[in-house]
Structure 1
Amino acid sequence: MNSMISRDRILTFLALGLFFVFLYIADNHFDEYSIRILINIAIFIIVAVSYNLINGITGQFSLQPNAFLAVGAYTSALLTLTPEEKLRSFILEPLIWPLSEISTSFPVSLLIAGLVTALVAFLLAVPVFRVRGDYLAIVTLGFGEVLQVIANNLVPVTNGPLGLKGLTPYTNLWWSWGLCIFTILCTVRLVNSSYGRAMKALREDETAAQAMGINAFWTKTLAFVFSAFFEGIAGGLLAHLITTISPSLFTFMLTFHLLIMIVIGGLGSTTGAVIGAALITWGGEVLRFVEEPMTIFGHYYEGVPGMRMVIFSILLIFVMLFARSGIMGHREFSWQWLIDNLKRLAGTIRGKA
């Protein structure tokens, strides 16, 4: 058993080393568009893995990640802007003190963004987890909508509909993928701990879990706060990638997009959340060519705006028809699983030879 654990750790370190070599090559040789796609993939993996913890692992149907992303994005943005930049941006009403005077480094702003979002989640957990099922979804959906209204009207803090512009583009491959890997490792450790087993028990049968002595409220609150912390960090990364944020960026469609990722990947699987986020973020860009004018068999066709989303939707329907539990279901990647499959494949090839 100890030899297997040591082997898995060595393979994990080797895989991480090879991946960082790939990041170095990408950072120095890939074009700006490809690098931006890689950064987007990393950010959405962070959010999908975090969101899957509350929706898939704990089994609580919540619809609030757009709100937590907004809290993280605004917090990080307000902390990295200098007092002079804030003075130029807030033209309708001045920014309230002490935010108008505070300016921190990017890493500190991400940490504070995560902590502030986690605090908001903790305060929200008290009323939210008094209900279950569809009612929980309605309450969290309402929170997202209320927060968007607040962002539009709390001008001395958010600058209202004008949003925040001119942010420094701190987010790069190293920040995004470094935090992405950190999020995955933390989530895997939590899921495999006694707290993670309690979360899975609540997902399967909350009444039975409570009968066995599991504190349902605090277990769900832990998952909610943990998820919110990393969603807040992802919001900060997103803000400093696009360098401008406004309330219209954090609508329910963002939550719907994330829900598709974790369902397609496999609700309840961290590996599935990673695969779903990567496939959907990357796939949406790959299909852009169908909207461009092209010649097929000598016939010229005009590009049709929105066609990529139609094709993307059809592909998602096929995935759900033939993999109803998602790509991974509840399964997780392991080195033993990979080794067993490689041995099986090698045996098949030798048999055919």
Structure 2
Amino acid sequence: MSKSSQIILSLISIACLIAFLFYAQSNFDAYTVRILNLIAINAILAVSLNLIYGFTGMFSLGHAGFMAIGAYVCAILLLSPEQKQMMWILQPMFGPLQNLQVPFFFAVVLGGICAAILGLVIAIPVLRLGGDYLGIATLGFAEIIRVVITNATPITNGSLGIKGIPQYANLWWNYGWLAFTVAFIVLLLKSNTGNALCAIRDDEIAAKTMGVNTFFYRTLSFTIGAFFAGVGGALTAALISTIDPKMFNFLLTFNILMIVVAGGLGSITGSIIGSVIITVMLEWLRIVEQPIDFGFIHIPGIPGLRMVIFSILLMGIILFWRSGLLGTREFSWNGIYRFFKKNSEARSGDRS
């Protein structure tokens, strides 16, 4: 397939997506629109975690902590001085933040930058570890962040959380940030930096032997992943309008990790497809947590049962389908063209 044909097909696909978003914004109910927004945010988080885990080979469990930083920074910067004065009832808000208010775009960017700075601070001591030790260390730092947020009452309002956050994160903002995230990470992976990251993932010792500064590239990958996790947290805060420290526990990181593993480690396309499937199924499976009455038999609702089901599914994927839905493969027009051409030739051969 020629380059011009691929460009035309890509432009048509983008136009169809934009038309779909216009239609969804005007015709879908609020619940369906909320799910579409969650798909975009989860895709941002999954792609950023895939950069760290799937493409660089660092097993990180700290995404929830970076999301919390992005969410709280964005929420504090979006609230008006009057809202802050009414909401901070346990202790007055820290002076300089009381009257600070910025537009939504800058609040999201600053949330991502703060998460990236914290990711850099964490990366310097932690990335000297590897394997399971790295996962345990990042999980510990995520819990430390959550505890600090709970106790930093003059800044975060403590365990009461923040309510009444302006809901600016609509379909356009969320899918716009998703497009930027995917474009940035794809361009990064196609550069020499991406080659270095994949070399570290495949064999870190060999990469060091070839002169690759593995610590620098691992730190860079971790910091970039933390930035986009902060962006995802900021968009989450501006979507649901209420946040508190309990939201950002290990279960949140587990959900994102489940998307990455199900879609395929080392596949951006897999992360996006996994986000669609997992997000929709998480919503559909809420029915198993509700009481079910068949007339002759009554089944009481079991809170948390949907996560048990998803845990079993994740274990099954890890044990029997380790490559996930797409493995390391990516979407391409050439790949689709070759697939249909191969099927067409096979059918022609059968007829003959």
CA distance in 1, matches of 2:305, 2:60: 30
The one-letter amino acid paired with 1:118 is A
Determine the structure 2 residue equivalent to 1:304.
Answer: 301
Determine the structure 2 residue equivalent to 1:209.
Answer: 207
CA distance in 1, matches of 2:66, 2:322: 29
Aligned with 1:245: secondary structure? coil
- Of the three residues 271, 274, 279, the one matched with 2:272 is 274
Determine the structure 2 residue equivalent to 1:58.
Answer: 56
Change (3 A) 1:135 1:173: same
Change (3 A) 1:324 1:159: same
User: CA offset at residue 77 of structure 1?
Assistant: 0.4
Determine the structure 1 residue equivalent to 2:93.
Answer: 95
Change (3 A) 1:336 1:108: same
1:83-232 residue pairs with structure 2 within 5 A?
83-232=81-230
User: CA offset at residue 220 of structure 1?
Assistant: 0.9
Change (3 A) 1:287 1:345: farther
User: CA offset at residue 99 of structure 1?
Assistant: 1.0
CA distance in 2, matches of 1:352, 1:293: 52
CA contact (8 A) 1:293 1:300 kept: no
CA contact (8 A) 1:319 1:326 kept: yes
CA distance in 2, matches of 1:49, 1:110: 17
- Of the three residues 78, 81, 91, the one matched with 1:80 is 78
Determine the structure 1 residue equivalent to 2:281.
Answer: 283
CA distance in 2, matches of 1:316, 1:150: 31
The one-letter amino acid paired with 2:198 is K
Determine the structure 1 residue equivalent to 2:242.
Answer: 244
When the two structures are aligned, how many residues end up with a matched partner?
Answer: 350
User: CA offset at residue 336 of structure 1?
Assistant: 0.7
Matched, 1:341 2:342: no
Q: Which runs of 5+ in 1 are unaligned?
A: none
Larger mean CA deviation between 280-289 and 195-204 belongs to 280-289
CA RMSD of aligned residues (A): 1.9
Q: Which runs of 5+ in 2 are unaligned?
A: none
CA distance in 1, matches of 2:299, 2:52: 44
CA distance in 1, matches of 2:331, 2:104: 33
Aligned with 2:266: secondary structure? coil
The one-letter amino acid paired with 1:100 is Q
| TM-score (normalised: structure 1) | 0.93
User: CA offset at residue 301 of structure 1?
Assistant: 4.2
User: CA offset at residue 44 of structure 1?
Assistant: 0.4
CA contact (8 A) 1:290 1:303 kept: no
CA distance in 2, matches of 1:315, 1:142: 26
User: CA offset at residue 7 of structure 1?
Assistant: 2.8
Determine the structure 1 residue equivalent to 2:257.
Answer: 259
CA distance in 1, matches of 2:66, 2:208: 28
User: CA offset at residue 162 of structure 1?
Assistant: 0.5
Matched, 1:68 2:70: no
CA distance in 1, matches of 2:59, 2:305: 31
| TM-score (normalised: structure 2) | 0.94
CA distance in 2, matches of 1:138, 1:317: 19
CA distance in 2, matches of 1:352, 1:78: 65
CA distance in 2, matches of 1:137, 1:307: 26
User: CA offset at residue 317 of structure 1?
Assistant: 4.5
The one-letter amino acid paired with 2:61 is L
Sequence identity percentage = 45
CA contact (8 A) 2:292 2:301 kept: no
The one-letter amino acid paired with 1:302 is I
Change (3 A) 1:293 1:352: farther
Change (3 A) 1:314 1:126: closer
What per-residue deviation string (whole Å, max 9, x for no partner) do you get for residues 129-149 of structure 1?
222222211221111011111
CA contact (8 A) 1:269 1:328 kept: yes
Change (3 A) 1:350 1:315: farther
Determine the structure 2 residue equivalent to 1:26.
Answer: 24
What per-residue deviation string (whole Å, max 9, x for no partner) do you get for residues 82-136 of structure 1?
1111111111111112111110111110111111111111222211122222221
Larger mean CA deviation between 342-351 and 159-168 belongs to 342-351
User: CA offset at residue 309 of structure 1?
Assistant: 3.8
